[in-house]
Structure 1
Amino acid sequence: MFGNIRAVLFDLDGTLIDSAPDLGAAADKMRTDRGLPSFPLERYRPMAGAGARGMLGEAFGMTPDHPDFSVLREEFFLNYESQMTLRTRVFDGVADLVNALVDRNLAWGVVTNKAERFTVPLTRAIPLFQSAATVVSGDTTPHSKPHPAPLLEAALRLQVLPGECIYVGDDERDIIAGLAAGMGTVAATYGYLGARSDAASWGAHAAIKNPLELLQLLAAP
Structure 2
Amino acid sequence: MFEQVQAVLFDLDGTLIDSAPDLGAAADQMRTDRGLPSLPLDVYRPMAGAGARGMLGIAFGITPEHADFPSLREEFFRNYERRMTASTRAFGGVAELVEALVGRGLAWGVVTNKSMRFTAPLTAAMPLFATARAIVGGDSTPHSKPHPAPLFEAARQLGLPPQRCVYVGDDERDIVAGRAAGMPTVAATYGYLGGTPEVAAWGADTHIASPLQLLALLK
Q: TM-score, normalised by structure 2?
A: 0.98
Instruction: Work out whether residues 7 and 106 of structure 2, in 8 Å CA contact, stay in contact via their aligned partners in 1.
Output: yes
Instruction: Work out whether residues 143 and 149 of structure 2, in 8 Å CA contact, stay in contact via their aligned partners in 1.
Output: yes
What corresponds to 1:12 in structure 2? 12
The AA in structure 2 aligned to 1:24 is G
Q: CA deviation at 1:191?
A: 1.2
Cα distance in 2 for partners of 1:207, 1:16 equals: 15
Cα distance in 2 for partners of 1:16, 1:48 equals: 13
Q: CA deviation at 1:193?
A: 2.7
Instruction: Work out whether residues 171 and 194 of structure 2, in 8 Å CA contact, stay in contact via their aligned partners in 1.
Output: no
What corresponds to 2:126 in structure 1? 126
Structure 1 unaligned spans of 5+: none
Cα distance in 1 for partners of 2:12, 2:195 equals: 21
The answer on 1:58 being equivalent to 2:58 is yes
Cα distance in 2 for partners of 1:198, 1:78 equals: 33
Cα distance in 2 for partners of 1:141, 1:196 equals: 26
Q: CA deviation at 1:197?
A: 2.2
- Give RMSD over aligned pairs: 1.0
Instruction: For residue 82 of structure 1, give the secondary structure of its aligned residue in structure 2.
Output: helix
What corresponds to 1:179 in structure 2? 179
Instruction: For residue 138 of structure 1, give the secondary structure of its aligned residue in structure 2.
Output: coil
Sequence identity percentage:
71
- Greater shift after overlay, 187-196 or 153-162? 187-196
Q: CA deviation at 1:46?
A: 0.7
Instruction: Work out whether residues 50 and 194 of structure 2, in 8 Å CA contact, stay in contact via their aligned partners in 1.
Output: no
Cα distance in 1 for partners of 2:161, 2:18 equals: 30
Cα distance in 1 for partners of 2:137, 2:60 equals: 27
Q: How does 1:115-154 map to 2 (within 5 A)?
A: 115-154=115-154
Per-residue CA distance 1:121-153 (angstroms, 9 max, x = gap): 100110000000110010000000000000000
Cα distance in 2 for partners of 1:177, 1:22 equals: 26
Per-residue CA distance 1:54-90 (angstroms, 9 max, x = gap): 1000000111111111111111000000001100000
Instruction: Work out whether residues 170 and 194 of structure 2, in 8 Å CA contact, stay in contact via their aligned partners in 1.
Output: no
Q: CA deviation at 1:196?
A: 3.5
Cα distance in 2 for partners of 1:172, 1:192 equals: 11
Runs of 4+ in 1 over 4 A off after TM superposition: none
Cα distance in 1 for partners of 2:59, 2:93 equals: 31
Instruction: For residue 71 of structure 1, give the secondary structure of its aligned residue in structure 2.
Output: helix
Instruction: Work out whether residues 47 and 195 of structure 2, in 8 Å CA contact, stay in contact via their aligned partners in 1.
Output: no
Q: CA deviation at 1:32?
A: 0.4
Q: CA deviation at 1:3?
A: 1.0
Instruction: For residue 110 of structure 1, give the secondary structure of its aligned residue in structure 2.
Output: strand
Structure 2 unaligned spans of 5+: none
Cα distance in 1 for partners of 2:57, 2:117 equals: 22
Q: CA deviation at 1:194?
A: 8.0
Aligned length: 219
Cα distance in 2 for partners of 1:212, 1:139 equals: 29
Q: CA deviation at 1:206?
A: 0.6
Q: CA deviation at 1:195?
A: 6.4
The AA in structure 2 aligned to 1:13 is D
The answer on 1:67 being equivalent to 2:57 is no
The answer on 1:114 being equivalent to 2:114 is yes
Instruction: For residue 36 of structure 1, give the secondary structure of its aligned residue in structure 2.
Output: coil
